[in-house]
Structure 1
Amino acid sequence: MKRMPWHIAVFLAPAVLVYSVFSALPLLDTLRLGFYATTDTGSTHFAGLSNYLTILTDPAWSAAFWNAMWNNCKFFFIHLLIQNPIGLVLATLLSLKGLKGARHYRTLIFLPTLLSVVIIGFIWQLILSPLWGVSEGLMAKVGLGDYFAPWLGQESSALITLALISVWQFVGIPMMLIYAALLAVPEDIVEAAHVEGASAWRIFWEIKLPLILPTLGLVTILTFVGNFNAFDLIYSVKGAIAGPNYSTDILGTLFYRTFFGYQSQVGSPTMGAAVATLMFLVILAGVGTYFYFVQRKLTRYEL
């Protein structure tokens, strides 16, 4: 059996150590803690699947969990159907030859992703405020004042508004990933298509798009993982209670309230670990489904 060269082990050791201490071990301990229950005295004992049965079937817990799950799904689909197509369009436009100021446009679009989510949430909360925000006045100047509403304060629109704020902030990430993939498309193929008289739309649809499908799949799965791990924007704008009336509650905020407690709700590390484990299983199922049904087809397509 061939042994690993010592210098490879030396260079890998710091990364393996950091990953093990700060990612792998906490994950394993969270999975373990989800099988325990906490008594009134603060002691823990093995409880098997009782925490999970409580979360999924007990009306006092299941209503909050499935509400957060449904909100998380809506949060993800808004990003999938709005953010990623906009990123594709922007990347396609910025990859056009001869576009003046393309570098400045890329910088300006990507700039919000570098800002803190807390800052973004606070700024947009001020902009959309019906008391001192500027959005109502700006809409009135263009004749849309009658359509203004306190979107962050209504159950029907609060989650959608927060999702659109997140889209505005992070659209630069799929844009840059797709832009890099478009730059990697062989130029001789595109030039040959031009010589054959193909239009720009046909070149994009029949040549560039099939070649960047693996990148689009990667963007999709990154969007899925990122949105089902979302927490900071909802918390910075709506707090842990995720109002109004839990209409913006997602799995991240539900986990926070369950683990640490909030207002009259007493925190429970074991129940919080169970919620975190369910979040992990949802993400794992989504990633596994993507690799099994999508990535294999894309790999065969590339071959």
Structure 2
Amino acid sequence: MTVSSPRMPVRWHIGVFLAPAVLVYTAIMVLPLFGTLQLSFFRVVDGRDVFVGLDNFRTLLGDPRWSASFWNALGNNFWFFLIHMAVQNPIGILLAALLSNPRLRMRAFYRTAIFVPTILSFVIVGFGWKLILSPIWGVAPSILDAVGLKSLFAPWLGKEEYALTTLGLISVWQFVGIPMMLIYAALLSIPDEILEAAECDGITGMSQFWKIKLPLILPSIGIISILTFVGNFNAFDLIYAAQGALAGPNYATDILGTFLYRTFFGFQLQIGDPNMGSAIASIMFLIILMGVCIYLFGIQTRLRRYQF
């Protein structure tokens, strides 16, 4: 005689609670994504949608009229991302380390003041900094003149060699509070027993941060890095608000987001081409997907060893 094991209860409530989120995510993310991918394989010929396979991608990457703009936007996008990785994230880690010091006074005020710009509108930030840096009515020349550094002022948003870097630093100013808060939370989550043991071994101050705290927060730094990558390759708002859809001067601040906008919707004398715009969006999706996969399968697995 065999005794059957009791059946596991069906946890139907999990599906009920997940269903609204899954439906909303599918409606506003998954379906438009597949629609964009589908649109990139077609082209309008004599008023009809004709399947052309990968021809739109070949045109985008190989046709001189398209490829020059695409590679310029892609290169600018990588530079925009590198500015955030090299400036924003290290500053965020430094600020988090300083704010985690229990002897620092007014820590709550500093955290709030640094984080406030992240909640501002891109339009306010872009237009505000454009006014500040204006050589005609901006306050930047007056401030530099007051400290005897007016000779260093230049129309940074009006020069091709400086415009993109200037916008990158403006974006760093706006969003440095996000990595700061994430690293700050990671530092606070380190058990006191580990820090007390380090102090017993004579590891204190900056030595304690480099030898104990930094290895323990590496997983958080990895998450911040991939969020920075995804956010910068989806960037559009700040460039559009400060420099317009043409991403001037002379497309020096053009990134994939603004290039996609002009191509898909059209701008001034440029007629919109949804099929080519979808091809650009598909390449953006593939770049972001490859970056996320490299992080998940190549980096995150190595960072897990530092988790406690």
Identify the TM-score tier after normalising by the shorter chain.
Answer: over 0.9
Which ranges of structure 1 fall in alignment gaps of 5 or more residues?
Answer: none
Indicate the residue corresponding to 1:119 in structure 2: 124
Q: How does 1:1-303 map to 2 (within 5 A)?
A: 4-39=10-45, 41-302=46-307
Superposed CA offset, 1:53-106 (max 9, x none): 000011000000000000000000000000000000000000001211000000
**Aligned equivalents of 2:237 and 2:166: distance in 1?**
15
The answer to whether the Cα contact below 8 Å between 2:92 and 2:180 also exists between their aligned partners in 1 is yes
**Aligned equivalents of 1:177 and 1:83: distance in 2?**
13
Q: Which amino acid aligns with 1:38?
A: V
**Aligned equivalents of 2:206 and 2:16: distance in 1?**
51
The answer to whether the Cα contact below 8 Å between 2:216 and 2:306 also exists between their aligned partners in 1 is no
Deviation for aligned residue 1:295:
0.7
Deviation for aligned residue 1:195:
2.1
Between Structure 1 and Structure 2, how many residues are aligned? 302
Q: Which amino acid aligns with 1:24?
A: V
The answer to whether the Cα contact below 8 Å between 2:219 and 2:306 also exists between their aligned partners in 1 is no
Q: Which amino acid aligns with 1:5?
A: R
Greater than 4 Å deviation, 4+ residue runs: 1-4
SS of residue in 1 equivalent to 2:160: coil
TM-score calculated relative to the size of structure 1: 0.97
SS of residue in 1 equivalent to 2:157: helix
Deviation for aligned residue 1:3:
7.3
Identity of aligned residues (%): 60
Superposed CA offset, 1:166-223 (max 9, x none): 0000000000000000000111111121122223111111110000000000000000
Pair 1:4–1:282, CA change in 2 (3 A): farther
Which ranges of structure 2 fall in alignment gaps of 5 or more residues?
Answer: 1-6
